[in-house]
Structures are given as structure tokens and as C-alpha cells.
Chain A
């Protein structure tokens, strides 16, 4: 499978614990985006990388969230001291093309439940 891969698919954690998610983009895509989707809503932008550089962060990304993309390959999203409001689907997308030709390809997401 050469699509975007996310791990784990599901994560249940207790409030206050730290969690880390991983995204492996399509190999030739240099831009990688993270989105968060709550029930009944569309995904919302969190942050994005071009190669290893994190170029933009949403105001949704509090200081408990950190993302990395070492060597411009896979990316990790860590949430520290999780809260119940962090429960959501976390989606990763990698992008092919430029400008109007840019197409986003999404992974299967990581469903986080904070209890």
C-alpha cells in the first residue's frame, strides 16, 4: 500500500496522559498536514510541514501539542496532559502538486478517546 499511513488507528487514554501519533506520508510528497475532526464536523487545520520545516500552526494547537517531521519523512503529533476535549479523529494528509493542481491525500486517521 503506497497511501498515507497512520498509527495507531485507535487510542484510548486516561486524562492527563501523553499520547503520540505517527503519520507516514506518500514517499514523494514533501508537504504534510495535520487536521483534527470532531464528531459531526469537518476536519480543521492544525499544522503543516514542508520537508522537515514546520511552517504554520493553527491557534487550535495549544502548547500541549507538538509536532515534528524529522528528516522530512514521517511525522509525529504528541499531545501532553490530555484532556477530554482532545477526543477527536486526528487526520494526516500529504500533498502532491502545486498551486491549483495540489491534491490532498488523507490517511485513515487516529481516533483518540480521552476518558
Chain B
């Protein structure tokens, strides 16, 4: 059974700093990994999708990496802004099955 872990559960950093969020998963037979953002009381916004054959994806100030063999992904946020404050969730879909298994998220607070 796939299990996804996100560490830390919460993170506070001053505005302008670069930061890294971590995600690990137990079964490396995945289709892909997605990073999502969730604002309080809201739905999920897809940030980046990394296919199992890819090593990284970039979108603006966000860069996500994937090391499938070790079961790890990182989300790098450059030059953080107060608007980046949210919960960040990673999710994997296992090979042959599109349903997502989620971590419990990292609650990020950017301090102005």
C-alpha cells in the first residue's frame, strides 16, 4: 500500500528566502507525482506534475524534483512571498491506477 509522508508539517520563513518542501513515498512504481496548493477552506490548485520518467519540472519560482528510485520529491520555492502562504500537498498515482495518494501536507507561512 502506497504511503506518502511530508516533512515538515509546518514551516515559517521570512519573506524573500528560498525554501524546500519534502515529500517521500514508499512504492516507487508510480505514474506521476503532483504538487498542489491549498488555501484555507478551499480546494486544491495543481502546481506541478512530474511524470515518472522525468527528474524535474519548473513553473515560475517553483521547481519540483523527483527521485523515483529513492521515493523522494522536493518542491523548491524561490524568493518566497507572503502570497505563497498555504498548505502544500504532494500526491502520487501508482502505475496502472490513476487515483491519488496524498501526504498530509506542509503548512507554509511566509513572514512579511
CB-based contact B42/A109 at 8 Å: yes
Q: Judging by beta carbons under 8 Å apart, are A103 and B105 in contact? A: no
- A31 neighbours in B (Cβ, 8 Å): 98
- The range of chain B's interface size is 20 to 34
With A102-B93, A103-B34, A104-B34 in contact, is A45–B43 under 8 Å at CB? Answer: no
Contact A106 B98 (CB under 8 A): no
Contacts of A45 in B (CB 8 A): 99-101
B46/A106 in contact, CB under 8 A: yes
Selected interface stretch from A13-21, A35-43, A64-72, A76-84: A35-43
Chain A nearest CB, measured from B57 CB (Å): 11
A 30-55 to B, binary, CB cutoff 8 A, 1 in contact else 0: 01010100001111110010000000
- Measured CB to CB, the nearest residue on chain A to B96 is A99
Given A42-B4, A91-B43, A100–B32 Cβ distance below 8 Å? yes
| Distance A67 CA – B78 CA, assembled complex (angstroms) | 42
The 8 Å CB contact of B102, one of A42, A105, A111, is: A42
Give the 6 A-B residue pairs with the shortest CB-CB distance, closest first. A42-B102, A100-B51, A106-B44, A108-B43, A109-B43, A45-B99
B-side interface residues toward A, CB under 8 Å? 4, 31-32, 34, 36, 41-46, 49, 51-53, 89, 91, 93, 98-105
What are 22 sample pairs from A and B whose C-beta atoms fall under 8 A apart? A33-B98, A41-B104, A42-B102, A42-B104, A42-B105, A43-B44, A43-B91, A45-B99, A48-B98, A48-B99, A91-B43, A100-B53, A101-B32, A102-B93, A103-B34, A103-B49, A104-B34, A104-B91, A106-B44, A106-B46, A109-B42, A109-B43
